Amino acid sequence: MDDELHARLKAYEGRPAAVAGVGRDPVNAPMIRHWCEATGDRNPAYTGPGAIAPPTMLQAWIMGGLSGHEGRAQAYDELLSLLDEAGCTSVVATDCEQEYLRPLRPGDEVAFDTVIESVSRRKTTKLGTGYFVTTRTDVRVGEALVGTHRFRILKYAPNRREQKAQDRQERPRRPRPVVNRDNAGFWEGVRRHRLLVQRCTACDTLRFPWLPGCNACGSAEWDTVEAGGEGTVFSYVVMHHPSFPAFSPPYAIGLIELAEGVRIISNVVDVPYDKVRIGMPVELEFRAYDDEDGELVLPVFRPRAGEVAA
Amino acid sequence: MKAGDELPPLEIGITRTLIVAGALASRDYQDVHHDPELARRKGSPDIFMNILTTNGLVGRYLTDHFGPTAVLRKVAIRLGAPNYPGDTMVLKGRVEEFDGDTAVVRVTGDNGIGRHVTGTVTLTVAAAVTVPPGGAG
């Protein structure tokens, strides 16, 4: 499976993650002692005169520590930000490959350069879904390469919040109206913020929703009148369950009787769902939804000004 | 020493102290390695050991066995099941290759929930030092 984000992340391969980084402290006996105490390592090679640092400490000398990383390259920050924005806010290290070319000794001052080697495709693990990012660091003392350090992290959206993260990423679209030649005029009116009602030109009966023929006299001839926008709640239901993507229950769905006499089903907005009542005066409003993928305009109804139910 | 030799296992009790002390000694202040509440918010049931500490323990396992004259050349590890407090990890090793003074050892570390680490360690062992197969260094 490929994805659009992966293509953007892949562009960072080969770019620097750190340039001319410098270890916070020279290699030193206290840090070596803390390390050996923590890991229970009693190797005499790590103590006394002529001590070397445990080779596996290689990364410890280049860690940013509590005050964070300095000298991190912009490309790496951008890469991590992209992942954060995609909901991959957690990080866990998964792989570490180190090569030790010569031992480090107290007094050695380490410098390092890191490159972004690769970014995996989107992977789902037990922890969550995300991307593996592999970096390679060359550690030097003076001009001498003393070790290399390849590090792989999983930057991921934790499982428990995976669904929410996905929701943010691919916000579900509201269902689209089915527009056909019988109702295209209605949706064209909505697009221009006009609520058009069909009127039979044979018997003057208004009809809604839009239909090919008059339900009073059967005539196929019609024109339209624009609704003034005033109405009352003729009936309503409150939607609790099941929940559909793009909707957050509970919400009120009203059958609104327009002042012109026809009825239309739509959402009753700007009022708590449990305050909607039959007979409540409402007025028309046009609202835009799903702005990012082509505007969807829908007619909805809000309580008429000054008449919000207590 | 020859290919196929098994190293005696090393049991490591995974305590909160070991996890936190290892994280601090490696200058790794990621909250998941010291703050249980923030670890939970990130989907983990508790704090867990960082990769640098695991790396250090694998290195220690090899030099404990082969002795202070052994020199680590390469350590490559991959993490699986996390090391949580209260667990025990058992490190095991098997000599995969032994050529001249260079040994390649395959290492695994299993805990109560699965395989925490798999790795390959390359090290040189001074010719003067002889280690009985399976013996402690």
Structure tokens at A51: 């001590």
Residues of B in contact with A38 (CB under 8 A): 18, 21-22, 24-25, 53, 56
Q: Do B27 and A65 touch (CB under 8 A)?
A: yes
Query: Rounded CA gap, A150 and A90, in Å?
Result: 20
In chain A, which residues fall in CATH 3.10.129.10? 2-167
Nearest to A63 among B26, B57, B68 (CB): B26
Nearest to A158 among B29, B43, B74 (CB): B43
Using 50, 70 and 90 to split pLDDT, how confident is the model at B132?
A: low
Q: Do B59 and A90 touch (CB under 8 A)?
A: no
Q: Does residue A121 contact residue A131 with C-beta atoms inside 8 Å?
A: yes
Q: Do B51 and A93 touch (CB under 8 A)?
A: yes
Query: Under 8 Å CB-to-CB from A124, ≥6 apart: which residues?
Result: none
CA distance B5 to chain A (A): 22
pLDDT tens per residue across span B67-108: 999 999 999 999 999 999 999 999 999 999 999 999 999 999
Which residues, given as ranges, of chain A have pLDDT below 50? Answer: 1-2, 161-168, 309-310
Q: Do B25 and A60 touch (CB under 8 A)?
A: yes
Helices (H), chain A: 4-10, 29-39, 74-85, 162-169, 184-191
Gyration radius from chain B CA atoms: 16
Please report the domains of chain B, with CATH numbers, ordered by start residue: 6-14+49-124 (3.10.129.10)
In CATH terms, the superfamily for domain A2-167 is Hotdog Thioesterase (3.10.129.10)
pLDDT tens per residue across span B1-24: 888 999 999 999 999 999 999 999
Residue identified by tokens 């013996």 is B135
pLDDT at B136 over 60: no
Burial of A257 (0-12, 13-18, 19+ CB in 10 A): middle
The whole-model pTM stands at 0.64
**pLDDT for A307:** 58
Q: Does residue B33 contact residue B17 with C-beta atoms inside 8 Å?
A: no
What is the complex's ipTM, to 2 decimals? 0.91
